[in-house]
Amino acid sequence: MKIKIPKTYKPSAEDLPNIIAPAGMEVGSNYLKLGDYLVKTFFIFTYPRYVAGGWFSPIINLAEMMDISIFVHPMDTALALRNLRKKVAQIEAEISEKQEKGVVRDPVLETAYQDVENLRDALQQAREKLFEVGIYITIYGSSVEDLRKLENRVESILESKLVYIKPSLFRHLEGFNSILPLGQDQLGVHTPLNSGPVSSIFPFISPDLTSDKGILYGVNMHNNSLVIFDRFSLENANSVVFAKSGSGKSYATKLEILRSMMMGIDVIIIDPENEYQNLANAVGGSFFKISLTSPNHVNPFDIPIMPEGEEPADVFKSHIINLTGLVKLMLGEVTPEEDALLDRAITDTYASRDITAENFGSIKVLKPPLLEDLQTILKNTEGGRTLAQRLDKFTHGSYAGFTNAPTNVDIKNRLIVFSIRDLEEELRPIAMYIVLNFVWNLVRSKLKQRLLIIDEAWWMMKYKDSASFLFGLVKRARKYYLGVTTITQDVEDFLNKSEYGRPIITNSSIQLLMKQAPSSVESVAKAFGLTEGEKSFLLEAGVGEGLFFAGLKHVAIKIIPSYTEDQIITTDPEQILEMKGLKK
């Protein structure tokens, strides 16, 4: 018995239409049925005497499933002038007839006469051209009711501009073919328009943030286009994210991190709530816990790697200033005299290890100084004993394990997360300052595309010294190919209680504003120059929705992840329990 083995199926080019096209189309008098959707096409047949520029903008930016085709057919000027001459003669005859009969003058006829004469003059002098224009709008709906609602909405918008449309009854197939990207005007319903009105239809008015490079941030809610942007293409790569708790600000940031890493960008994160641990684990990043009992330590007195092209003395002085700001943050209020004393004592602390402004960074130091070395110098300096005593809790007291230990973290990874969740609230600004200083020295050592994410940045904005340091970092980041993302939910602390809040916004080319609380929306609106409509949008925005500003452009955006991305970055407790199989 001979067994016939069936041939293996091999797809061919002939199968392509079956994949991308619906199975069939049903043609009706009032609409088409195309796959799972109903399709209906309209044409514009009446315009007002004057149309303002941008009158078509509300239709183009309508966030609905629809297609628009605009056909502009140039008319022969000589033929147009002959037709207009006939029209003028017809209007003059009507006016004369009314005058002979003693009928009261007709303003409509007189206005039409003046308009035609003005158009004739403009055409004769080549100041205008005449065109046959066809504008077709095709809408889609999953049901007759959906189609009717969208039809009423489109009609209402256009009628408010005194523009009227009609459905292409019994010709919906020709209408559908006319809106396909084939350049075929099968419907052929035209209106003669001169250059001015035609230019007012200019379609490229939609807010658009789509470029040929960068990452996907979300979907443009104005017109359903994609927001693809490269933050490093602007004058600086800094961004700020303002939103109330639960609106999706950290979610949007994690999505940006994941997609930026695919483009080869390194990322460093300061995480106050352990929100980025799953992300670090998923991509093989480093996750360091900074706490009083943690084995991970960062010594603020470490000798930074000398940046190329910079003078050792300048780097040394900058380092001393940063350390002085940190110690002042630890001590609280200090007098100008104590400030000067701290500056001198920190310099002497390095000098005790034979490190000076001249050899800073050029000699190998086996063991950099610690905070307790500064305390020793202060004890032996006139007027410094009180400061030394105030530092004792950071060197020998309950905070000693956090601030007075050698650095032992490995920073050779593309994603580095510093978690400060387990620190006391009063220590969080200090921890953020120490980590930021550590990161800043890392960034300056090698020029490379990096992102620095500072979540809950309002902790640093509460204190002048830490806010000043953050502002300095944001201001200088561009020079070192660094983009700083500042995230906060406490808008008042960031904008109104710190003199550095607004300058940080000014030095951030990208801003993402998500759902705001009624108590803070006025401050946000004032800082970003929002309209009343934008304020209302931020008050009512759903999770993952907001306003995305990039330079001078801004659009309403919706953050949309893929399924895999969502599984990695979600912090929704219900969803996490479900993934772990613990939800009942």
Q: Is the pLDDT of residue 121 over 70?
A: yes
Residue 582 pLDDT > 70: no
Q: Residue 468: its pLDDT value, please? A: 85
On the question of pLDDT at 546 being above 80, the answer is yes
Structure tokens at 548: 């995305």
Q: Pick 204 or 407 by higher pLDDT.
A: 407
pLDDT band at 366 (very low <50, low <70, confident <90, very high): low
Per-residue pLDDT at 165? 92
Q: Which CATH architecture has domain 238-291+413-584?
A: 3-Layer(aba) Sandwich (3.40)
Q: What is the pLDDT of residue 453?
A: 92
According to the model, what pLDDT value does residue 173 have?
Answer: 92
Q: pLDDT class for 176, splitting at 50, 70, 90?
A: very high
What average pLDDT does this structure show over 374-384?
Answer: 87
The per-residue pLDDT for 466 is: 81
Higher pLDDT, 521 or 81: 521
- What does the pLDDT read at residue 580? 63
In 3D, which of 28, 37, 63 has the Cα closest to residue 557? 63
**So what's the pLDDT on residue 392?**
87
337's CB contacts (< 8 A; 6+ apart) are 383
Which of 157-171, 340-354, 457-471 has the least mean pLDDT?
457-471
**Which of the four pLDDT bands, split at 50, 70 and 90, describes residue 6?**
low
Beta strand residue intervals within 37-175, DSSP E: 37-46, 66-74, 130-141, 164-167
pTM: 0.66
363-368: Cβ within 8 A, 24+ apart: 365/303, 367/406, 368/299, 368/301, 368/302, 368/303, 368/406
Specify the pLDDT at position 255: 93
CATH entry 3.40.50.150 includes domain 299-406: no
Residue 206, pLDDT score: 53
Q: Per-residue pLDDT averaged across 188-209, rounded?
A: 75
Question: Domain-by-domain residue ranges, the chain?
Answer: 20-75+129-200, 238-291+413-584, 299-406
pLDDT digits (tens, 9 = 90+) for 289-303: 888 888 888 888 888
- Residues with Cβ < 8 Å from 555, sequence gap 6 or more? 207, 208, 209, 220, 221, 222, 227, 547, 548
Query: What confidence tier does 167 reach under pLDDT thresholds 50, 70, 90?
Result: very high
C-alpha atoms less than 13 angstroms from C-alpha of 503 in its C-beta half-sphere: 15
Q: Is a pLDDT exceeding 90 seen at residue 42?
A: yes
Does pLDDT of 322 surpass 70? yes
* Res 38: pLDDT: 92
If you average pLDDT over each of 343-347, 427-431, 443-447, which comes out highest? 343-347
Share of the chain above pLDDT 90, in %: 15
Averaged confidence pLDDT in the chain: 83
Structural tokens at position 337 = 């005299």
Stretch 168-179: mean pLDDT: 91
Mean pLDDT score, 80-94? 78
Q: Which residue has the higher pLDDT, 450 or 576?
A: 450
